[in-house]
Amino acid sequence: MFRNIEFQEIVYTIKERWQFGKPRQKRCLLKGVSGVFPQGQLTGIMGPSGAGKSSLLNAISGF
């Protein structure tokens, strides 16, 4: 049995790379993202480079 995949208010944060003389800081990549993938439908995620498509899929999948 298939079900809709729903997500609400996703926040995805990473630690930035260390830079000389600066401590690592957190960087928010996604904030407050919500959506639904309806059952039985093909859904595409589109956007320009750096828009957060892979980050969204990583957050949804728990990667």
- Whether residue 18 is predicted with pLDDT greater than 90 in this model: the reply is no
Give the range of the structural domain holding residue 37, as residue numbers without chain letter: 5-61
Q: Which residue has the higher pLDDT, 21 or 34?
A: 34
Task: Return the structure tokens found at 22.
Answer: 């600066």
DSSP string, 2-59: ---EEEEEEEEEEEPPPBTTB---EEEEEEEEEEEE-TTS-------TTSSHHHHHHH
Reported as a single tens digit per residue, the pLDDT across 30-52 is 999 999 999 999 999 999 999 99
C-alpha–C-alpha distance, residues 61 and 51, integer Å = 18
| Rounded-to-integer distance, Cα 56 and Cα 52, Å | 6
Residue written as token pair 């093909």? 42
Name the band, by pLDDT with cuts 50, 70 and 90, for residue 23. confident
